Amino acid sequence: MTASVLEVAGLSKRYGETVALDGAAINFQAGSIHAVLGENGSGKSTLVKILSGIVAPSGGSVRLGGVAVTDFRPVAMQALGIGTVFQEVLIAPDRSVADNVLLGIDGLFTRRVPRAGRAALAASLLARVTRTPMEVSANAGALALAQRQLVVLARALAKQPRVLILDEVTAALDYGDRDAVFAFMRAFAAGGGLILFITHRIDEVTALADRVTVLRSGRVVRTFARGEVDVPGLLALMAPATLDALADAA
């Protein structure tokens, strides 16, 4: 069996009375696209935020490459090779597209990538995720939401992560850009990286994922390999209450 590049066990997060994540255990394998599927509020983004160092877990463990993570801060998670595209698309509107793409490798107040190479580097990172040309010297504030999404995706690549977490990244994209992002994801996994792909869209899971973990009310329902479960099965696991309600109404 393939070794896990990322393992979470007993992972929990409480916000006061709310249990956002409740003892989640998942093994993620290198060189794969692993989808985490769940309805609104099932705990997907909470998992993402823990793995990105945005929130500390209330309990449980995370291991990367077999080593237990002890420092849950964004810089520490990035240093371990985790790159994240968050559900909320964060852009510095008064800065150029190039600056926005290179934001993660520049310092907060300094530009580490020299002026001469900036445009070319930003353009090459963007070219990995889209075929839509973008003017890298333009202000990012002028971009449509779809383009902003591609900019933050390119930004995550700038640090050359080995684990790339994508939280609902396709929501704002048209079909052309979505296909380009899917092609990029397949290439990233083929190169040995892990794509942790968060979605509530079953069609995206069946199109892409090597494995899928279903989350419901903060709990892992189950993890399946490709072909082990069909669409009705996934639907039922995501929200059996809905199916029960439909059956009752019939």
Ligand X SMILES: Nc1ncnc2c1ncn2[C@@H]1O[C@H](COP(=O)(O)OP(=O)(O)OP(=O)(O)O)[C@@H](O)[C@H]1O
Interacting positions 196-235 with ligand X (CB under 6 A)? 200
Comparing CA positions, the residue from 79, 51, 38, 17 lying closest to residue 199 is 38
Of residues 38, 53, 83, 193, which one binds ligand X by CB under 6 A? 38
Please report whether residue 56 would count as binding ligand X according to CB under 6 A. no
Asked whether position 192 contacts ligand X by CB under 6 A, the answer is no
In the complex, minimum distance from the CB of residue 31 to Mg ion, in angstroms, rounded to a whole number: 25
CB of 78 to ligand X, least distance (A): 21
- Please give the Cα distance from 24 to 17 (Å, whole number): 18
Contact window for ligand X (CB under 6 A) among 12-20, 187-195, 204-212, 230-238: 12-20
Interface segment toward ligand X; rule CB under 6 A; list 13-21, 185-193, 204-212, 232-240: 13-21
Please count the other Cβ atoms lying within 10 Å of the Cβ belonging to residue 57.
22
Assess 18 for contact with ligand X (CB under 6 A).
yes
Which residues pair with residue 18 across a beta bridge? Answer: 15
In the region spanning residues 44 to 63, those forming contacts with Mg ion, defined by CB under 5 A, are: 44-45
Residue 149 as a binder of ligand X (CB under 6 A): the answer is no
Give the nearest distance from C-beta 221 to ligand X in angstroms: 13
Q: How far is the CB of 43 from ligand X (least distance, A)?
A: 4
Residue 84 CB, nearest distance to Mg ion (Å)?
A: 12
Under the binding rule (CB under 5 A), the answer on residue 223 touching Mg ion is no
> Should residue 100 be labelled a site residue for Mg ion when binding is judged by CB under 5 A?
no
Told to check if 87 binds ligand X by CB under 6 A, we report: yes
**Residues near ligand X (CB under 6 A):** 15, 18, 20, 38, 40-46, 87, 200
**Residues near Mg ion (CB under 5 A):** 44-45, 87
